[in-house]
Structure 1
Amino acid sequence: MTNLQMPATRDYGWALKPVSSSHFNIHQKGNGQFCVVLNHALLRGVSAEMLHWWFLNFTRLRVLLKDVPGYVLQEVPGYWLWHPVDHLSATLSGNLGPGGVAKEGCSIHIREAMQYDRFGWKYPVDAKLKVYYVGSDGWAMGKALPLVGPVMMLRIHFKDVFEDGQHVGVHYHYEVVIGATGNNPVTRFINRKIASEFGPEFFAAWHRHNVIEVGTFENFLPALFAQKDASSSVEYARDMNPDLPSPDTQTGYDWALFERRLSGYKNSDTPYVYQQYQSPSFL
């Protein structure tokens, strides 16, 4: 990974969300397996339909940046809008949907670095994962080993939120399970090996990365979604930025859900079953 060149930071003029806008915790099991729960602030101006479209298409999107400093009239991967610092590339392969969109059973190759502005390549990701779920309510990807089963699974849930009959945003919730289930010499060895690359220290850095990543949806996704019928190439300019209040006072959207899901992982002997990574949303 250190031989790869991270693109220069993109200054879109956005106010990035702080980690205080989320609920986050890591629970480590006795066998070295661990579980992460991250509950985000409500996504304002975004709909579940927009998010579903994004996850189907983001790897193939090209975006013409009209007025971003250092990128004026340059076409870049849509993945570079999803995080202004940490993202390098994301590509799909295998059995894809019509036009090359994501489909359950395909593979995704992700290259990025957690908090690149602070740590450089200390916490890199250069991973090829299987996509297990592509739904109107979420997304799941991960890795399984023969005779062992899942050893990494990342599951996203999202749901429209209404107040007094009016759409006010999206509840966006993220859970990760890392390591093999069970407690024997084989699973403990596997979990030590996985944790050496993707352990709790990595996911502590991932916390800020993901809060920024998810928060940016409020800034760019409505503008890109409005162009969804144009082509795989769309445009973005800083004057498209919505007039949003500061995110500094936001907190995670659902504390009760966060506590319930974290408690569930602490009490579960089968975290991947509890995670429901191949099931519809539990929100």
Structure 2
Amino acid sequence: MRDGRIMIELHHNTIKGVTPEMLNWWFGVYATQKIRICEQVFDAYLIWHPQDNVGLSVSRGDLKEPLRVGDVLAVRRYFARDRAFKSYERFHVMQRDAEAFAVKVHRLGMQMAIARWEFQATQDGTDVVMRTEVGVENGLVKVIMNNFILPMVVDMKLLDAWLQYSVEEIGNFEFFLPALYAKRDQGAVIDLSDELGQRSCDL
């Protein structure tokens, strides 16, 4: 970008069978929701991307209510199943509704990144566009951070692994989210043993 920030825009394939309302619900509960598969109970976050997702927690006392603007998420991942691409971030929720889910990342008291997933309903499902801005938008250190420090600390191999992870993660919604959403009245633990099939039970 003109001010030295990096902009990444990723247009995902249509998520078939998934609606923006489902995505809004998911991002409201994915930090605390549990899924039962063949008598075992897993964190929903781990089901979303079983190979790379490690853990997710929310810094809030009342975990019964859906995520809201201002909540802070602690997210742990290994991109490309590689511990060399370990990622631990604290995300501040900026937006959560049927139009988008957005978070921001702070470093040393400065806003260093914004990630936004925008939802658009289609005849077959939902189109998702992810827009991520990395760098400092305002402040006296903007020029130094964006034009000198940022190019030195951005790992292009890690960036490629993260983009691949993003494609896989959004694509995985087709395989479980419609069934999960249909059973949302089950509450904190939703049983998907039948929907995910006997093969999952044998793993």
Instruction: Compute the TM-score of the two structures, normalised by the length of structure 1.
Output: 0.63
Residue from 86, 93, 97 that aligns with 2:59: 93
Per-residue deviation, 1:114: 1.1
| Aligned-pair identity (%) | 22
Contact 1:35 1:175 in 2 (8 A): yes
CA 1:106 to 1:147, structure 2 compared with 1: closer, same or farther past 3 Å? closer
Aligned residue number for residue 45 of structure 2:
79
More helix by share: 2
Q: Which amino acid aligns with 2:128?
A: Y
Aligned residue number for residue 175 of structure 1:
131
CA 1:140 to 1:107, structure 2 compared with 1: closer, same or farther past 3 Å? same
2 CA distance for matches of 1:93 and 1:147?
18
- 2:84 counterpart SS class: coil
More strand by share: 2
Q: How does 1:1-283 map to 2 (within 5 A)?
A: 29=1, 32-66=4-38, 73-94=39-60, 99-116=64-81, 120-144=82-106, 150-162=111-123, 168-181=124-137, 186-191=141-146, 193=149, 198-237=154-193, 239-241=194-196
Aligned residue number for residue 200 of structure 2:
none
Moved over 6 A (4+): none
Number of positions where the alignment pairs a residue of Structure 1 with one of Structure 2:
196
1 CA distance for matches of 2:155 and 2:133?
11
Q: Which amino acid aligns with 1:152?
A: A
How large is the Cα RMSD of the aligned pairs? 2.6
Give CA-to-partner distance per residue, 1:110-159, whole Å, 9 cap, x none.
0001111xxx21222111121111111111001246885x3200001012
Point out where structure 2 has 5 or more consecutive residues left out of the alignment: 198-203
2 CA distance for matches of 1:193 and 1:51?
35
Per-residue deviation, 1:36: 0.3
Point out where structure 1 has 5 or more consecutive residues left out of the alignment: 1-28, 67-72, 163-167, 243-283
CA 1:57 to 1:197, structure 2 compared with 1: closer, same or farther past 3 Å? farther
1 CA distance for matches of 2:153 and 2:165?
17
1 CA distance for matches of 2:64 and 2:44?
16
CA 1:196 to 1:135, structure 2 compared with 1: closer, same or farther past 3 Å? farther
1 CA distance for matches of 2:53 and 2:108?
30
Contact 1:95 1:103 in 2 (8 A): no
- 1:126 counterpart SS class: strand
2 CA distance for matches of 1:146 and 1:124?
20
- 2:137 counterpart SS class: coil
Q: Which amino acid aligns with 1:223?
A: A
